[in-house]
Chains A and B, each alone.
Chain A
Amino acid sequence: MTTTPAPTSSWARARHLWGLRWRMMRRNWSEFAHQMRKHPLAIIAAVVILLYILAAIFAPAITVHDPTRGSLRTRFEPPFWMEGGSTEFLLGTDDQGRDILTRIIYGARVSLLVGVIAVGVSVLVGLTLGALAGFYRGRFDTIVSRAADLLLAFPFLIFAIGVMAFLGPGFGNLILALTFKGWVEFFRLVRGEMMAEKTKEYVEAARVSGMGKVAIITREILPNIMQAVFVLATLRMGYMIIMEASLSFLGLGIQPPTPAWGSMVASGRDYLLTAWWVSTFPGLAIVGLVLAINLFGEGLRDVLDPRLKIE
């Protein structure tokens, strides 16, 4: 019952605890799987997301063309089912004669990577600040909360455009621009949950039993609010992907020749009347992935965090 147990006993305790957690997780998982079965749409969405992820990982293996090189001689080849199309370029080629399907598959890498990293960093920052602010309150909470309010006053896209215009395009800057404001929502969620959980009996019990504050936050409260964070993270993922596509569409995100869906849509804009496929397929790729992520996120929310469903 000490705040910092001796190393030996701590090791044994940790093993015991993790064993417990593992058993609980397995029980939870089967419960979770059972619950998810009531949401077939979310399962389909999960499969779609998985397909996107697999395509992104195995892009070099499943494509035959180079995503950044084309020949001007094969400019604007139509998709295979149209007159003049061939199975060499299933979804046709763009203004540089590059295979659109190949570029979409490689583009999935950018979108997923940006989505995962931007959300990941946002969660990390938001969770840490939110937990500290919600638990300790005081001046730290006031300062961070006001900063968060300030950031919330800006529309995300306008804000991101401003940041990107200032920093210049590029992958790293893109992540920075997206997380610069992305953490706020996680901060607010965690802070609110933290304040609510803090007063509950199990926290009281932990405190009475002599647990340290850090331990209470990390071992007692956080596991209880992680589900809500996870649901929000999933939903924000779709949003971040849209943001990346929007910035790339505006020429502020990923730069050519690296394929990104947003810039692919933009580059086909001028040819909509003659080569509609250049913009359309990357656009559908965005819709498909974001829709799948959102549907999956919703199913997840219904199962993990039914409270959010109200209203």
Chain B
Amino acid sequence: MRKSRLALIVLALMLAVVVAACAQPTPEVVKETVVVKETVVVEVEKVVEKEATVVVEKVVEKVVTPTPEPGRQTLIVALAGAPVSLDPADHRNRTTETVIRNMFDGLVTRDTRSGVHLELAESMEWLNDTTLEVKLRKGVKFHDGQEMTADDVVFTFERIITENAIEYPEPHSSPRKGLIAPLKSVEKVDDYTVQMFFSGPWPVANQMLVHQQIVPKHYLEEVGTKGFVEHPIGTGPFKFVEAQLDDKIVMERFDDYYGGAPDLEPVGPACVQRAIFRVIPEASTRVAALLAGEVDIIQDVPPELVETLQQTPGIVVKTAPGTRPKWVELNVNKPPFDDVRVRQALNYAVDKDLIVEELYGGRAVPLPGPLSPFNNFVNKNLKPYPYDPDKALAMLAEAGWTDSDGDGILDKDGQPFSFVMDTTAPIRSLAEAVAGQLRDLGIDVSVRVWEYSVVKPLLLNGERMAFARDWGDSAFDPVGHFEAKWHSRVEGSPYGRGNFSGYSNPRVDELIKLGETEIDREKRQAIYDEAQQIVYDEAPAIFLILPEEAEAASERVKNWEPASDSRINLHDVCLE
């Protein structure tokens, strides 16, 4: 009796742990803890039996599977998120681009130090302000052996700029159209020459063309978009083998690869035989997988783990300047954020240096305004809003917000200063830190974590108060940033497509339009300097920080470099 009681306690404890862990408890389950001892024994026997079966299965599997190549020539990369498609024209997502650009090449590419180099293009020349002539490299083969020609390039760009050109799953226009908005048409001159016609001068064409990859016309016409995304074919260093987008993408070396950009060593087929992208969203799981040797490279190392990994033998951590500035956009059309003094006060209230130091271990920089300090057109005169809580309080008092009832919360006309800061899971910690600092000032801030796709329409409709997140800046040019975040929202166009603050300033809109077509670098700088100054002063957001991109790999991985745009170029990577 005593023994069975003890067994019961142990069983109950285990059950409770299981119950707590998987959250699938029912009173029925608990009832079973009262069963007699014999049943418990039977249960144990069952478990043993099961384990034995598993072992047998594994052995059989190992015997059957032949090992295709000697040594370990398979490179495994752990991604933080899943790609959304394998069609280069049908996504607007960094992870997707990271995967796709290992199977597809573009006319130009960008290396880790942000320079643009010719890839499939042999030369590119502006015939006049609005016409770009591209001569194509000869002898470039798609993965099915067909040569890439001008027809494929024309087809690729027409597919992106034509309305509803993508017919699967239902007819829609390419989400990448906005990245090449000024392109009017593309024409074939001969088999290896195309001309691209733009609506006006487009100084950032080279930077932006990096984000478009060439697809095979003959193949797409034969199998359609559906067949294409199920088995994509490109000109890149790796060819598609199989994929389950939310789990893994398997690729194999393309032996007939033309070699890639001739300026970028090494030139030739990829180094490893097989490359696999695995999706591991949980940061600690990703790190654990690297430590266990299950994967070779991991993306997005959380800042607090950088140091730990650096001290781990056999692991190399590398960082690159980040391109994802983080801020809290404030709804400028709703009180209290319709008052510019309140928005500026909030900028003074956040101790960015403390956040950089403690939250990011020094691996971040404060934002000197709306643009990343690494942007090619950053306004050098702007300095990050200094941390000055007294000034913040004074400005808030000027705007009418004081703690008149002595409850520790600022109020105005009897209303407490209280709002919800929305965010998404990856930067919850940052949002909570900012909210905490605002609470110290006497503002009642709570944080709500959302799925981005759920909260985005609410933000665009101006239904929320504040949103903490980032916006990619991988082209190092203000275009993508300014038109998306600080241009007034124009429905159905790229302008203001990420404008979550509802900010609208006609002068800024005008400057953005001017900047898009200005070719003279100095004039362009002056245009963006003015735009940045205005946005900085009007503070439609709390400008926070720009963290470094950190990636880690096993030290057996050679020739690997994290990119600012978080691209992982596997062409050069070798395994020892």
The reply on B16 being an interface residue by CB < 8 A is: yes
Closest B residue, CB atoms, query A302: B34
The reply on A73 being an interface residue by CB < 8 A is: yes
Closest A residue, CB atoms, query B354: A72
Residues on the B chain within 8 Å of A76, using CB? 304
Contact A290 B439 (CB under 8 A): no
Residues on the A chain within 8 Å of B436, using CB? 68-70, 72, 96, 257
Closest A residue, CB atoms, query B437: A72
Residues on the A chain within 8 Å of B302, using CB? 270-271
Residues on the A chain within 8 Å of B449, using CB? 251, 255-256
Contact A95 B308 (CB under 8 A): no
The reply on A157 being an interface residue by CB < 8 A is: yes
Indicate whether A256 sits within 8 Å of B9 (C-beta atoms), given known contacts A287-B17, A298-B30: no
Q: How far is the CA of A207 from the CA of B440 in the complex (A)?
A: 67
The reply on B433 being an interface residue by CB < 8 A is: yes
Residues 329-372 of chain B, each 1 if its beta carbon lies under 8 Å from chain A, else 0: 00000000000000000000000001101110000000000000
Contact A236 B440 (CB under 8 A): no
Residues 447-491 of chain B, each 1 if its beta carbon lies under 8 Å from chain A, else 0: 111000010000000000000000000000000000000000000
Residues on the A chain within 8 Å of B23, using CB? 157, 242-243, 245-246
The reply on A128 being an interface residue by CB < 8 A is: no
The reply on B205 being an interface residue by CB < 8 A is: no
The reply on A294 being an interface residue by CB < 8 A is: yes
Contact A169 B13 (CB under 8 A): no
Contact A257 B20 (CB under 8 A): no
Q: How far is the CB of B283 from chain A (nearest CB, A)?
A: 5
Contact A257 B25 (CB under 8 A): no
Indicate whether A297 sits within 8 Å of B20 (C-beta atoms), given known contacts A96-B429, A239-B25, A270-B302: no
The reply on B26 being an interface residue by CB < 8 A is: yes
Q: How far is the CA of A248 from the CA of B335 in the complex (A)?
A: 30
Q: How far is the CA of A169 from the CA of B455 in the complex (A)?
A: 13
Contact A238 B308 (CB under 8 A): no
Residues on the B chain within 8 Å of A185, using CB? 27
Closest A residue, CB atoms, query B26: A239
Q: How far is the CA of A294 from the CA of B358 in the complex (A)?
A: 42
Q: How far is the CA of A270 from the CA of B9 in the complex (A)?
A: 32
Contact B27 A235 (CB under 8 A): yes
Contact A96 B308 (CB under 8 A): no
The reply on A3 being an interface residue by CB < 8 A is: no
Residues 267-284 of chain A, each 1 if its beta carbon lies under 8 Å from chain B, else 0: 101111111000000010
Residues on the A chain within 8 Å of B20, using CB? 242, 245, 283, 286-287, 290
Indicate whether A75 sits within 8 Å of B27 (C-beta atoms), given known contacts A256-B447, A267-B428, A274-B305: no
Contact A257 B34 (CB under 8 A): no
Closest A residue, CB atoms, query B440: A69
Contact B358 A271 (CB under 8 A): no
Q: How far is the CA of A257 from the CA of B12 in the complex (A)?
A: 33
The reply on A258 being an interface residue by CB < 8 A is: yes
The reply on A295 being an interface residue by CB < 8 A is: yes
Contact A271 B432 (CB under 8 A): no
Contact A256 B432 (CB under 8 A): yes
Contact A255 B447 (CB under 8 A): yes
Q: How far is the CB of A174 from chain B (nearest CB, A)?
A: 14
CB within 8 Å of A: which B473-517 residues: none
The reply on A178 being an interface residue by CB < 8 A is: no
Contact A290 B354 (CB under 8 A): no
Indicate whether A73 sits within 8 Å of B354 (C-beta atoms), given known contacts A41-B9, A283-B20, A290-B19: yes
Cβ 8 A contact of A169, one of B30, B282, B433, B448 = B448
Central interface residue in B9, B23, B34, by most chain A CB within 10 Å: B23
Main secondary structure of the interface of A (DSSP, over half): helix
Contact A271 B435 (CB under 8 A): no
Residues on the A chain within 8 Å of B446, using CB? 255-258
Residues 32-75 of chain A, each 1 if its beta carbon lies under 8 Å from chain B, else 0: 00000000010000000000000000000000000011101101
Contact B358 A75 (CB under 8 A): yes
Residues 393-419 of chain B, each 1 if its beta carbon lies under 8 Å from chain A, else 0: 000000000000000000000000000
Contact A295 B354 (CB under 8 A): no
Cβ 8 A contact of B34, one of A75, A97, A309 = A309
The reply on A304 being an interface residue by CB < 8 A is: no
Residues on the B chain within 8 Å of A41, using CB? 9
Q: How far is the CB of B437 from chain A (nearest CB, A)?
A: 9
The reply on B128 being an interface residue by CB < 8 A is: no
The reply on A291 being an interface residue by CB < 8 A is: yes
Contact A270 B447 (CB under 8 A): no
The reply on B526 being an interface residue by CB < 8 A is: no
CB within 8 Å of A: which B212-240 residues: none
Contact A242 B25 (CB under 8 A): yes
Residues on the A chain within 8 Å of B308, using CB? 273-274
Residues 90-109 of chain A, each 1 if its beta carbon lies under 8 Å from chain B, else 0: 00000111000000000000
Contact A291 B13 (CB under 8 A): yes
Contact B12 A295 (CB under 8 A): yes
Q: How far is the CA of A95 from the CA of B420 in the complex (A)?
A: 20
Indicate whether A68 sits within 8 Å of B284 (C-beta atoms), given known contacts A41-B9, A96-B432, A258-B446: no
Q: How far is the CA of A69 from the CA of B437 in the complex (A)?
A: 9
The reply on B425 being an interface residue by CB < 8 A is: yes
Q: How far is the CB of B199 from chain A (nearest CB, A)?
A: 43
Central interface residue in A155, A165, A232, A256, by most chain B CB within 10 Å: A256
Residues on the A chain within 8 Å of B420, using CB? 255
Can you report 9 residue pairs joining A to B where beta carbons are below 8 Å apart?
A: A68-B436, A68-B439, A243-B23, A255-B448, A255-B449, A257-B436, A271-B302, A290-B20, A294-B19
7 A-B pairs with the lowest CB-CB distances in the bound complex, closest first? A72-B358, A291-B16, A246-B23, A235-B27, A251-B449, A256-B447, A287-B20
- Chain A residues within CB distance 8 Å of chain B: 41, 68-70, 72-73, 75-76, 95-97, 155, 157, 165, 169, 185, 232, 235-236, 238-239, 242-243, 245-246, 251, 255-258, 267, 269-275, 283, 286-287, 290-291, 294-295, 297-298, 302, 308-309, 311
Known: A72-B354, A95-B359. 13 other contacts (CB 8 A): A68-B436, A70-B436, A72-B359, A75-B358, A96-B436, A155-B24, A238-B30, A242-B19, A255-B446, A273-B287, A274-B305, A291-B16, A308-B31
